[in-house]
C-alpha cells in the first residue's frame, strides 16, 4: 500500500500537542503501536500548536527539523500520531522524500500483519481500500491481477487514474459481497445457539487489557496472548462448561483503541456483531493503567457505535496483582454482579467470574422460559 511504512523499517514519530488531555498517553500509545508494527523508532519530533497547518500539518520550522532528522538517521518512513488529509500526506512525502503514514494507516498496517482468518483478511483489505481511496494517485495497477469482471482494463480513452479508481470500486464491491455472505453464515450459527438455549458471552475491552489471557484461562485454549497492541484480531469462540451453569459459548474479540479508525469499525462489522448479539459482555479493563477511565469510556463509545450499548455488561478489572488489589466482586442496586476484580494471569478471583456467569445464565434461562410461554 502507498501510505504505510514497511515492516521492520526505521521511522521517525511525529506528535503535536493541541492542548487536549491525555497527550502523553497518546504519544506512548503511538510508540507501542509502532513497535507492534515492527518499526524501529529512530527519533520523535514533538511540538505545540493551536491547530494543524493546512499544507504540512506541522509548521514549516518543525517540517525542516523533521527533514533534517530523517536525513541524519536515514529513516525510511515518518509516522504521525494524527490523521492526515491526502494533500498533507502528499506534500510531506515530497518534502521528506520518504513514506509518510498517519495513525489510521499505522493501525491498518498492524491489522494487515495480524489477520489470520479468511474473513479477517477480507475485512482488513476492505478497510485499507476504503481508507486509501481518497489518497489514490497511482500505483493500484496490482489490482488488475484480480480481474474482477468484464471491462476491467478500460476503454482506450480511460486514464490510468480512472482505471485505478474503477478497479478499486470493483474490488470493494467484491469484498462487501463476500463479507455479507460470511455474516449470513454467522447469523445462522448464532440462531442455532439461541435455539439450544446456550448463553453467548463476548469479551470486549481496550487492546492489551488481557482479554486473550483470560480467554485462554477460561477455555484452556492457546490463543496468542502477547504484551503488545492488537495481538489478537480474529474473533475466536470456544465452548465453556461451568458445573452449576451448564454449557455456554465465549468469544474473544478484537481490542478497541482510542480513535479506532471508522473504516475498521465498519469493515469489522461482521466480527463486532458477536458483541451486538451476545447475551453478556465481559468488559476487560487493565486495572494498572493510569488512564483506565478513558479506556473504559472509549470502549463504551465503540460499543454504542455498533449498537451494543444495551447488552448487559460486567466490568472485569484485570491485572489486580500489578495494582496491588485483592480479588472480589461488587453488586449493583438490584443485587446483580456488576464488577469483578481478578488476575487472569494467576487465576486469582476467577471463582467470582464463574459465579457471575452462573447467575447470569440462570437469569437468562428464566427470561427465555417466560418469553417462550407467552409466544
Per-residue pLDDT tens over the stretch 166-175:
888 889 899 8
Query: What's the pLDDT at 373?
Result: 57
Residues 6+ apart with CB under 8 A from 131: 104, 105, 108, 261, 263
User: What is the mean predicted confidence (pLDDT) over 149-156?
Assistant: 44
Q: Give the Cα-Cα-Cα angle 45, 46, 48 (nearest 5 degrees).
A: 150
pLDDT beyond 80 at 360: yes
Query: What's the pLDDT at 233?
Result: 57
Which residues in 288-327 are b (16+ Cβ under 10 Å) and which e?
ebebbebbbebbbebbeeeebeebebbbbbbbbbeeebeb
Model confidence at 152, pLDDT cuts 50, 70, 90, reads very low
Task: Examine domains 10-109 and 197-373 and report if their fold is the same.
Answer: yes
Query: What's the pLDDT at 114?
Result: 76
Return the higher-pLDDT residue of 64 and 267.
Answer: 64
Considering the chain, what percentage of its residues have pLDDT values greater than 70?
77
pLDDT beyond 80 at 61: yes
User: What is the mean predicted confidence (pLDDT) over 216-228?
Assistant: 70
Q: Cell for 163?
A: 482505471
pLDDT, mean over the chain:
81
The Cα 126–Cα 39 span in angstroms is: 24
pLDDT beyond 70 at 41: yes
Residue 290 DSSP code: T
User: What is the mean predicted confidence (pLDDT) over 203-223?
Assistant: 85
The Cα 124–Cα 136 span in angstroms is: 18
Tens digit of pLDDT for each residue in 79-127? 999 999 989 999 999 999 999 999 988 988 888 887 777 877 888 888 8
**Domain ranges in the chain?**
10-109, 115-178, 197-373
Model confidence at 144, pLDDT cuts 50, 70, 90, reads very low
Tens digit of pLDDT for each residue in 246-287? 889 898 877 787 777 666 676 666 556 667 788 999 999 999
100, β-bridge pairs: 78
Query: What's the pLDDT at 2?
Result: 37
- Find the helix packing angle between 118-132 and 160-195, rounded to 10°: 140
The Cα 364–Cα 199 span in angstroms is: 8
- Matching residue, cell 459465579: 355
Model confidence at 354, pLDDT cuts 50, 70, 90, reads very high
Query: What's the pLDDT at 370?
Result: 66
pLDDT beyond 70 at 189: no
User: What is the mean predicted confidence (pLDDT) over 124-136?
Assistant: 78
Global pTM value = 0.73
pLDDT beyond 80 at 5: no
Residue 15 DSSP code: E
User: What is the mean predicted confidence (pLDDT) over 348-375?
Assistant: 81
What percent of the residues of the chain are helix, what percent strand, and what percent coil, each to the nearest 5? 45, 20, 35
CATH architecture for the domain at 197-373: 3-Layer(aba) Sandwich (3.40)
Question: CB atoms < 10 A from the CB of 138, how many?
Answer: 9
Query: What's the pLDDT at 43?
Result: 95
Query: What's the pLDDT at 107?
Result: 86
Query: What's the pLDDT at 222?
Result: 66
Model confidence at 193, pLDDT cuts 50, 70, 90, reads low
Query: What's the pLDDT at 221?
Result: 74
Q: How many residues does the chain have?
A: 375
pLDDT beyond 80 at 241: yes
Query: What's the pLDDT at 290?
Result: 84
CATH H-level superfamily of 10-109? GTPase HflX, N-terminal domain (3.40.50.11060)
Amino acid at each position: 500500500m502507498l501510505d504505510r511504512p514497511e515492516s521492520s523499517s526505521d521511522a521517525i514519530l511525529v506528535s503535536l500537542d493541541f492542548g487536549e488531555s491525555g497527550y502523553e498517553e497518546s504519544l506512548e500509545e503511538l510508540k507501542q503501536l509502532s513497535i507492534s508494527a515492527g518499526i524501529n523508532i529512530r527519533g520523535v519530533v514533538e511540538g505545540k500548536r493551536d491547530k494543524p497547518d493546512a499544507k504540512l500539518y506541522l509548521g514549516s520550522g518543525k517540517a525542516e527539523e523533521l527533514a533534517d532528522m530523517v536525513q541524519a538517521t536515514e529513516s525510511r518512513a515518518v509516522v504521525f500520531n494524527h490523521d492526515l488529509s491526502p494533500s498533507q500526506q502528499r506534500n510531506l512525502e515530497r518534502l521528506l522524500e520518504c513514506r509518510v503514514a498517519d495513525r489510521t494507516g499505522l493501525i491498518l498496517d498492524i491489522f494487515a500483519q495480524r489477520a489470520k482468518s479468511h474473513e479477517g483478511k477480507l475485512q482488513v483489505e476492505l478497510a485499507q481500500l476504503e481508507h486509501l481511496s481518497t489518497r489514490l494517485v497511482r500505483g493500484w495497477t496490482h489490482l488488475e491481477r484480480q480481474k474482477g469482471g468484464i471491462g476491467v482494463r478500460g476503454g482506450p480513452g480511460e486514464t490510468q487514474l480512472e482505471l485505478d479508481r474503477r478497479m478499486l470500486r470493483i474490488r470493494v464491491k467484491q469484498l462487501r459481497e463476500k463479507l455479507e455472505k460470511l455474516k449470513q453464515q454467522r447469523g445462522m450459527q448464532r440462531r442455532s445457539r439461541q435455539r439450544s438455549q446456550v448463553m453467548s458471552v463476548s469479551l470486549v475491552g481496550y487492546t492489551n487489557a488481557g482479554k486473550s489471557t483470560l480467554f485462554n484461562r477460561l477455555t484452556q485454549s492457546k490463543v496468542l496472548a502477547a504484551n503488545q497492541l492488537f495481538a489478537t484480531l480474529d474473533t475466536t469462540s470456544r465452548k465453556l462448561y461451568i458445573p452449576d451453569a451448564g454449557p455456554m459459548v465465549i468469544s474473544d474479540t478484537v481490542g478497541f483503541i482510542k480513535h479506532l479508525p471508522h473504516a475498521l469499525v465498519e469493515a469489522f462489522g461482521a466480527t463486532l456483531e458477536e458483541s451486538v448479539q451476545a447475551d453478556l459482555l465481559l468488559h476487560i479493563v487493565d486495572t494498572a493503567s493510569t488512564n483506565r477511565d478513558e479506556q473504559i469510556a472509549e470502549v463504551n463509545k465503540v460499543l454504542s457505535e455498533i449498537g451494543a450499548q444495551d447488552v448487559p455488561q460486567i466490568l472485569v478489572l484485570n491485572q489486580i496483582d500489578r495494582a496491588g488489589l485483592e480479588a472480589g466482586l461488587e453488586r449493583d442496586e438490584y443485587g446483580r454482579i456488576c464488577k469483578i476484580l481478578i488476575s487472569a494471569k494467576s487465576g486469582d478471583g476467577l471463582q467470582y467470574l464463574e459465579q457471575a456467569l452462573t447467575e447470569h445464565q440462570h437469569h437468562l434461562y428464566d427470561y427465555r422460559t417466560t418469553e417462550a410461554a407467552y409466544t
